[in-house]
A = this chain, B = another copy of it.
Amino acid sequence: MAENDSLTKAPDTPGTLTADCCSAHAETGQHGYSKDKDAHLKRLRRIEGQIRGLQRMVDEDVYCIDILTQVSASTKALQSFALQLLEEHLRHCVAHAALEGGAEMDERVEEATAAIARLLRT
């Protein structure tokens, strides 16, 4: 229902779809990642803790290989977070755009592919 509303309003307010699909209507719970916000914040706080752990390791002259292992774990955690976000984005924003079709859809798919390319290249 609310989803249909946003679809009907979309043509009148071009450009707002972006905000609509992933983030805006926090109160209606129809956007993408916001309903998982708490889980995301928890994940990111754990990663922040890992980075602080890395600082402690460097400060205490821990053996470099052990530090590298911890860097790999943090990178992996960041990639998992990104994949979770991407999955929600595909499920909500890209699907939403598919219903609109045309240029909106093309733009969303190109944008998502570019984001995946950036993740792959890091």
Name A residues whose Cβ lies closer than 8 Å to a Cβ of B.
18-19, 22-24, 26, 31-34, 37, 40-41, 44-45, 47-48, 51-52, 54-55, 58-59, 61-65, 67-69, 71-72, 74-76, 78-79, 81-83, 85-91, 93-96, 98-99, 101, 105-106, 109-113, 115-122
Contact = CB atoms under 8 A, between A and B. Distances in A.
A63 B110 CA distance: 15
Contacts of A76: 122
A89 B61 contact: no
A23 B18 CA distance: 30
A63 B18 contact: yes
Contact of A72 (B51, B54, B63, B122): B122
